Amino acid sequence: MTEPASPPDALRLRDLRKSFGKPAVDGLDLTIRPGEFYALLGANGAGKTTTLRMVAGLLQPDSGEVSICGIDARRNPLEAKALTAWLPDEPLLYDKLAPLEYLEFVAGLWGMDSDEAGARAEDLLRRLGLWEQRNQRCEGFSRGMRQKVALAGALIHEPRLLMLDEPLTGLDAGAARLVKDMLAEQTRQGVAVVLTTHILEVAEKLADRIGIIADGKLIAEGDLAQLRRLSAIASASLEDVFLDLTARGVAA
């Protein structure tokens, strides 16, 4: 009897390159499996956001391979986008739309069924504590509320690959806990989550694997124990490990 074929990698980047005069992403190789929580860390300007923007289809790579759930995103961008959600650090919302109207628009973009999408929109807004504000325009919302509406927009079409750029910025402790729980739940359902953050404690607690990027290259990768071994600082925190590895520019 043959073994059932394992599902394709949620995200597979090979020799990915992008240059804006000088290299921003420089031959990046990255593999993220379905259901994995992956934290991509790096100093400002290391190439994290450029990488995510290329995966989201907002930037054309100079060269390299981008594969999402087995789909070549450069050859079949629409098929790849159908499986992907991207949540940037600055929530991209329409001030003049209410959360429910925004979700209706997003569900339309991803071609969802109205009944199914309506139910999911209600569930998401209730869980995020926004149901009472569902018909209020986003223009008066706080940063945290806007972040939650954007998260609902990213989750409504049930993506297989969820990319989040600093998702916890502006959230209070309760909301941050809620979002972390929701992300963990996504991974249990087989969704791959890629997160960039400067709050290293979040990466330390949530991530299955952590990648450290510097000058557009992946310089270290692994779980916290593996990174500690690379840094050679015994019982160090992720912050110590991160600062040590980025200072030394270790190659994984």
Partner 1 sequence: MRPRSLTLARLVRHDLAISWRRLCGFLRAKTTTRALIVLGLASAVLHLAAWPLALGLLALEARDGAVALDGLGFVIVLPWLMSQGLTGATRALYSRGDLDLLLSAPLPPQKILASRALAVGIESFGAVGMFLLPVVNMAALLGGARWLAVYPALASAVLMATGASFAATLGLFRLLGPKRTRAATQVIATLVGAWFVICAQIFNFIPADSQKALREALAHPAPGSWLDPQGALWLPARAAAAEGRALALWVLLGCGAFVLAVRALGPAFARGALIAAGEGRARATTRDARFRCERAGALRRKEWRLLARDPYLLSQILLQSLYTLPVALIIWKSLGPNGSVALSVAPALVAIAAQLSAALAFLAGSSEDAGDFVATAPVAPGEILRRKIEAIAVPVALLLALPLAGVAFAAPRIGLVTFLCAAAGAASTATLNFWKPLENRRGDLIKTHAQNKLVGLVEHGLSICWALAALLLCLGSWMALAPIAIALALLWANKPRARRVKAFAPA
Q: Which is nearer to partner 1, 84 or 186 (CB)?
A: 84
CB of 70 to partner 1, least distance (A): 16
Q: CB of 134: closest distance to partner 1 in angstroms?
A: 8
Binding of partner 1 by 84 (CB under 8 A): yes
**Residue 47 touching partner 1 (CB under 8 A):** no
Contact between 95 and partner 1 by CB under 8 A: the answer reads: yes
Could you give the CA distance from residue 147 to residue 130 in angstroms, rounded to a whole number? 11
Q: For the chain, how far is it from start to end, CA to CA, in angstroms?
A: 37
15 touches partner 1 by CB under 8 A = no
Distance CA 107, CA 165 (A): 21
* Nearest to partner 1 of 142, 189 (CB atom): 142
- List C-alpha distances in Å: 148 to 4, 50, 89, 227: 38, 23, 12, 32
Site for partner 1 contains 112 (CB under 8 A): yes
- Residue 218 as a binder of partner 1 (CB under 8 A): the answer is no
For residue 79, state whether it binds partner 1 (rule: CB under 8 A).
Answer: yes
Strand partners, 132: none
Spatial CB neighbours of 96, under 8 Å, sequence gap ≥ 6:
137, 138, 139
Q: Report the alpha-carbon distance of residue 184 to residue 176 in Å, rounded.
A: 12
Decide: is 192 part of the binding site for partner 1 (CB under 8 A): no
In the complex with partner 1, which residue's Cβ is closer, 11 or 238?
11
Q: Which of 207, 215, 194, 216 is nearest to 238 (CA)?
A: 207
Could you tell me which residues are beta bridge partners of residue 37? 193
CA 189 to each of CA 3, 184, 185: distance values in angstroms, whole numbers, following the listed order: 22, 9, 6
**Shortest distance (Å) from residue 25 CB to partner 1:** 15
Question: How many CA atoms within 13 Å lie on the side-chain side of 248?
Answer: 13
Q: What are phi and psi of 25, to 5 degrees?
A: -125, 125
Q: Is 59 in the site for partner 1 (CB under 8 A)?
A: yes
- Given the rule CB under 8 A, which of 26-34, 99-107, 197-205, 210-218 is the region that contacts partner 1? 99-107
Q: Which of 25, 30, 69, 121 binds partner 1 (CB under 8 A)?
A: 121
By CB under 8 A, tell whether 104 contacts partner 1: yes
Number of residues that bind partner 1 (CB under 8 A): 48
Please report whether residue 140 would count as binding partner 1 according to CB under 8 A.
yes
Interface positions with partner 1 (CB under 8 A): 56-60, 74-79, 81-82, 84-86, 88, 92-98, 100-101, 104-114, 117-118, 121, 133-137, 139-140, 153
